[in-house]
Copies of this chain bind each other. A is one copy, B any other.
Amino acid sequence: MTPTSHRHLIPTETFTATYRLAGTRTEAEDKAAALCVEQTIEFPADLVWVEEISRHIVARVGEVREAGERSFDIDIQFSADVAGTELPQLLNVLFGNASLLPGVRLQRFEPGPQLLSHYRGPRFGVDGVRRLVRARHRPLLCTVLKPMGLSAEELADLSYRFALGGVDLIKDDHGLTDQRFSPFRERVRRCAEAVERGNRETGGTCRYAPHVTGPAHELHDRARLAKLSGAGALLLAPGLAGFDAMRRIADDDDIDLPILNHPAFLGSFIVRPDHGISHFALFGQLARLAGADATIFPNFGGRFSFSQDECRETADGCRQPMGNLRPIFPVPAGGMKRSRLVEMVEFYGNDVMLLIGGDLHRHPEGLTAACAELRKALE
C-alpha cells in the first residue's frame, strides 16, 4: 500500500459537548478521557499508528467544572468531521457507546456553523406556529383524541367538539397508529374533515395532528398522506421511529406541516439525574435539530415524577439560541388538570403549548364548553 497523507484529518471546525460525570474529580476526569476515545476511534490509544488520528480524530477534554457532590461537568471537544453531515452519526458521537456507561449524562452540546449547516431545524418554530393558529401572544392549547379503541367516526366526533371549543391543536393519542379499530387512513380523513367543519362554524384555526409514527417503509408516506388528507400538523415519536425520520419529514417541502415531538420510548434517557441525556438536550436541542416545532414532555406534578428544574431545563432547551435554529414550544403534559392553567402559564410564560387531555372530559358541561373555558382563560 502506498503511504497516505492524513492532513485532511485536521478539522475545519470543532464542537463542544458537556457531560456530567459521576465520581471524584480524578474519576470524572478519567471518565472524560475515556469518552474522548470511546466516542470516536474506540481503539487502544497506544496502538494508533497515524499521528493525525490521535491528534485530530480523538476528542479532547476541555474545561472541568464542579456540578455537585461527586459530580463534574466536563467539556469534550469533537472534530465536526467525526459527526459528519448526518443526524444519526451526531447522536452516535454524542451518546452512542456512552449510553452504555453508568454515571455519564450528556448535558448539552454547542454545534458550530459548519455542523449546523446540515440541519434546517424546525420549519415553523414558535413564530411560525403562532401565525398558523393566529395567536400572537397567548399560550396555545392542545388536546388529545382518546381513549384508544374508539372508531375513526367516534374520534372525529370528539375532534369536532374540541374544534368548536377553540383549541389550537388536536393530536392523536400516541397509541393510535393503524389498528383495525381505527385505521390510519380513515381516521385522518374523518378527523381532519371534522376539524375543518368545526373551523367553518367558528371561523377558527384549529389544526389536527395525526400520529404518523409507523413502519419504516410507510412512515414518510403516512406523513404525506396526512398532509393530503387535510391534517394541520403531525405527531411523531422519534424514540420509536428514529430522530432522523422526523428530520426527513420536517425537511420535506411537500409536507410543510408543524411537528409535535412525543417522548415515548425516550424516557430511559432522562429518568436518572446521573445518567442519560438532560431534558435540555433531549427534549430541547435534539428535538429542534430533528425539526420538531413543539416538544411534549411530562410536566411536574402530573402522572410522571419530574421536577420543576427539569421542566425549566426543557423549556430552556426549546428557547436558548442554537445557531439559526428556531425556538420551539415546550408542551408540558401527562395528567395536566384544567385547574393548573394559571400555574403553568406563570411557570412557562406565554410561549408554551398546554396539553390537556383526559381532564377535559370531567367538565360538567362537556368537551366544547371545557375547551372554550380554557381558551377564554388563555386570552
B99, A268: Cβ atoms under 8 Å? yes
Is A321 located at the chain interface by the 8 A CB criterion? no
Least distance between A109 CB and chain B CB atoms (Å): 15
- Residue from A8, A40, A98, A240 whose CB has the most chain B CB atoms within 10 Å: A240
Which residues does chain B contribute within 8 Å of A178, judged by CB atoms? 84-86, 89
A267, B175: Cβ atoms under 8 Å? no
Chain B's closest residue to A304 (CB) is B100
* Binary B-proximity of A239-257 (CB < 8 A = 1, otherwise 0): 1111011011000000000
State the CA gap A285–B304 with chains docked (Å). 28
Chain B's closest residue to A98 (CB) is B267
Least distance between A55 CB and chain B CB atoms (Å): 10
Which positions 258-303 of chain A face chain B at CB distance < 8 Å?
263-272, 275-277, 298, 303
Which residues does chain B contribute within 8 Å of A181, judged by CB atoms? 8-9, 57, 81
State the CA gap A41–B116 with chains docked (Å). 39
**Which one of B50, B102, B240 lies within 8 Å of A96 (CB-CB)?**
B240
> How many residues in A have their beta carbons less than 8 Å from beta carbons of B?
94
Which residues does chain B contribute within 8 Å of A157, judged by CB atoms? 1
Which residues does chain B contribute within 8 Å of A312, judged by CB atoms? none
State the CA gap A151–B84 with chains docked (Å). 15
B82, A179: Cβ atoms under 8 Å? yes
Is A237 located at the chain interface by the 8 A CB criterion? yes
Stretch of A13-21, A126-134, A212-220, A339-347 lying at the B interface: A212-220
Which residues does chain B contribute within 8 Å of A38, judged by CB atoms? 303
B177, A84: Cβ atoms under 8 Å? yes
Chain A positions near chain B (C-beta within 8 angstroms)? 1, 4, 6, 8-9, 34, 38-44, 47-48, 50, 52-53, 56-57, 81-82, 84-89, 91-93, 95-102, 146-151, 153-154, 157, 173-175, 177-181, 213-217, 220, 237, 239-242, 244-245, 247-248, 263-272, 275-277, 298, 303-305, 334, 357-359, 361-362
Beyond A85-B178, A88-B177, list 4 extra A-B contacts (CB 8 Å): A43-B357, A52-B149, A216-B242, A268-B268
